[in-house]
Amino acid sequence: MEKIIGFIGAGNMGQAIAGGIVSSGIVKSENIIFSDVSEDNLKKAYQKYGVKTSNSNVLVASMSDFLILSVKPQIYEKVIKEVREYIKPDTVIITIAAGITLEKLKNMFEKPMKIVRTMPNTPAMVKEGMTAVIPNEFVTQDELESVIKILESFGKAEVIDESLIDSVIAVSGSSPAYIYMLIEAMGDAAVAGGMAREKAYKFAAQAVLGSAKMVLETGIHPGELKDMVCSPGGTTIEAVASLEENGFRSSIIKAMKVCENKSKEMSK
């Protein structure tokens, strides 16, 4: 892909995306350019990936074939107002902000633009991200495929209907926080049992990683995989019974619904 990929915003997520792009070889590092108000962020991006940097959003916007807006949602409108007149007609805009709908983006740009709304998550930093992809009506199939190729350089990507975005935020965008809490709690319990904390977190995290991989690679229903671990009269079924008694699954479902509702509020 001999295209220029520009980033406005060189924070953690922007750099994670760039890292995936560079390591996958989709484009050369010299074809990636960042702008940011933070000289420190730009320096880190250059040192990590050898990308070009600039303190001018307008310059990056004018050069890019794919322009990724990796800034906080609250400054989207300000940034778009600054650069919208300098973006090339065929440039594809990629957004990663929660609560900024395609309709809102259309109003911010004040003219037809090729826009792909996405919702990645923080595991993109270790190339295990999950990204929802929502193109608007001006994005061609070839352009969409190119965007998906970019997004899959740091994990997996799926095209969804925008009506599902709030569920996506609950099930993948915010869910790493739930998993970190689970790993921390498992680690605490192992420490209480006498294990060193560093080893406890390693055992817990690897168990979560392996379990997730089994779901993805075997195609077996999670409930069936759970049953495979639960021997009659054994230790696991006792633990599962205790989790059920304490509302493990219902608390997760409730938390995700709260997250989904908050996402809906932010989109209004």
State the pLDDT at residue 40.
95
Neighbours of 214 (CB within 10 A): 14
State the pLDDT at residue 2.
80
State the pLDDT at residue 227.
97
Is residue 65 within 8 A of residue 4, CB to CB? The reply is yes
Which residue ranges does the chain devote to CATH 1.10.3730.10? 173-267
Select 5-165's CATH number: 3.40.630.30, 3.10.105.10, 3.40.50.720, 2.130.10.10. 3.40.50.720
pTM of the prediction?
Answer: 0.90
pLDDT tens-place string over residues 174-209: 999 999 999 999 999 999 999 999 999 999 999 999
Residues in contact with 73: Cβ distance below 8 Å, sequence separation at least 6, in sequence order: 97, 98, 99, 100, 266
CA-closest candidate to residue 34, choices 65, 2, 70: 70
- Pairing state of beta strands 114-119 and 129-135? antiparallel
Which residue ranges does the chain devote to CATH 3.40.50.720? 5-165
CA-closest candidate to residue 108, choices 67, 66, 65, 75: 75
CA-closest candidate to residue 93, choices 45, 106, 268, 82: 106
Beta bridge partners of 268: none
State the pLDDT at residue 1.
65
The amino acid at 202: K
* CATH architecture of the domain with range 173-267: Orthogonal Bundle (1.10)
Which stretches of the chain score pLDDT less than 50?
A: none
Is residue 122 within 8 A of residue 136, CB to CB? The reply is no
